[in-house]
Amino acid sequence: MSDMSKLHDNTPILIGAGQSVERQATGHSHMHIAGQAAQAALVSTGVDGLAQHIDTICVIRTFTDSPGQWECPFGRSDNPPQSVAAAIGASPRDRIYSNIGGNEPQSRIIEFSADIAKGERSLVLLAGGEALRNMRTAQRAGEELDWEENHSEELEDRGFGKIFVSDQEIANQLYAPMFYYTMFEQAQATRAGRDTDQQKLFMARQMESMSRVAADNPYAQFPNAMSTDDILAAGPLNHLYTRRMIAQDGVNLGAAVLLTSVGKARELGIDEDHWIFIHGQAEGVELVMTEREDLSRSLMAEAVLDQIFEQSQWTVEDVDLIEIYSCFPCAVTVVADHLGLPNDGSRPLTLTGGLPFFGGPGNNYAMHGIAEAVSQLQSGVGERALVTCNGGMLSKHASALYSRAPNTTDWSVADTTLSSEGFERRTIAPAPRAGKIITYTVNYAKDVPQQAMVIGETADGERFVCKSAPEDLATPAAMLEDGIVGREIKVDPQDGGALYFQLA
């Protein structure tokens, strides 16, 4: 074991991780499940009485408290961190409710590890939970549940945070994550020279390998291995995705981790075998989708990865545990391609089983990936772990490298926030009349193509978003043919900013 005696007392470390799952529906709330995970994280440290030492509890914002999602009809906690505190017997100084985004768990570790390095925090609990399965089951059964919790303690509610979409995207109903990710997926298929069927097979094989990991994970919501054929046979959502290729949010899942300093861990009697060090961590925000030069990549995801490997002085060959954020297949591919990792399932790219099979607990999924990395490193399953996180439309990226080996980086001054200022940015055309298709999605309703959406480009190189007219079913049907990318389109601007298109 490495010599820990010379480490600075303010060196941040993770010391515990916990998860919870309820596969069958119960009456438990989001915060009850988050509390279960928090208690499990405390128990995992092997030391009693830690709760009273927690000075900060940060809860990741639930889906039902996020815009565009499902408001809970059974009430909510008006102070989620205090609900978790009450569940574990803690009295924190600071109670924080996070922004939205799948990046949030790692982004908050970046924030709080810097605070710990500065001596501003000593023991931080990060937790989150979703009970969407319980909520929807009760709604379908006509049951009434009481999830209302009211607290008088002070709360720092950080709200939704910035939403990274353009006015034109909104005006053309490009708001659902699946619409965006299908367009990224199509751009990847075009770059690789794969037709629609080939792309579907590529994605299904990638997803099959994840489902095998979920089948062996005791915390997975859907622990059943699926074959490539099973995944392809699921009902279609659009021209590329079936229902088993994307995140499944009907879950009861919670996860939590504990972050502290070396000095505090010594004070509390935490065994050095439990200390997990951060060897690289960074985050950054990508351009709005229509402004990006290459829609098959994420320059910010790549920059974040380059930064953490530079910080650690590791290579990807040094990493033996990998958890890549997997809301949609292309989110995995942008990372795997940049790092030179295989997409064919020959090397596991998830520790949990991925959002389509482990389950997609909203903004808190990445906490499960971090918890798995911490737990597996502590138990000696691996020596070095990579965890990547993604929020928005491949918009907000946060990634980290973890190990039991000590690291002396001063995270209070390390460069962990990257800017997209130097990225090439395409201009958005406000009211184009014609262009060519760069990428697209054909969206289905009840297994029938109903609408097409396109990212187009004018002859001058400006970008725009457009959609087929509501009554136009011929265009979506025609776009199921291969060879659509590059086709010319005619565009008809509408009042309110919508742009209708037809194939030229």
CATH label of the domain that carries residue 471: 2.40.50.840
Domain that holds residue 50: 12-164+246-418
User: How far apart (Å, rounded) are the C-alpha atoms in residues 181 and 121?
Assistant: 38
Residue 142 has pLDDT above 70, yes or no: yes
Residues 473 and 441 both lie in one domain: yes
- The pTM for the full model equals 0.97
Residue 71: predicted pLDDT: 87
Closest-CA residue to 34 (of 256, 360, 362): 256
Residue 280: predicted pLDDT: 98
- What share of the chain in percent tops pLDDT 90? 95
Q: Where are the beta strands (DSSP E) in 26-76?
A: 56-59
Residues 138 and 287 both lie in one domain: yes
- Residue 191 located in a structural domain: no
User: How far apart (Å, rounded) are the C-alpha atoms in residues 106 and 70?
Assistant: 24
Residue 5: predicted pLDDT: 80
Supply the CATH number for residue 115's domain: 3.40.47.10
- Residue 210 located in a structural domain: no
- The pLDDT tens digits for 48-104 are 999 999 999 999 999 999 987 678 999 999 999 999 999 999 999 999 999 999 999
Residues 259 and 332 both lie in one domain: yes
Residues 19 and 159 both lie in one domain: yes
Residues 448 and 366 both lie in one domain: no
- The pLDDT tens digits for 455-499 are 999 999 999 999 999 999 999 999 999 999 999 999 999 999 999
Residues 352 and 411 both lie in one domain: yes
User: How far apart (Å, rounded) are the C-alpha atoms in residues 52 and 55?
Assistant: 8
Residue ending a domain, among 418, 449, 484, is: 418
- What share of the chain in percent tops pLDDT 70? 99
Number of domains in the chain: 2
Give me the mean pLDDT over the 406-424 stretch.
Answer: 97
Q: 419: which 2 tokens?
A: 């800017």
Query: Is the separation of the CB atoms in 500 and 492 below 8 Å?
Result: yes
- Residue 7 located in a structural domain: no
Residues 378 and 459 both lie in one domain: no
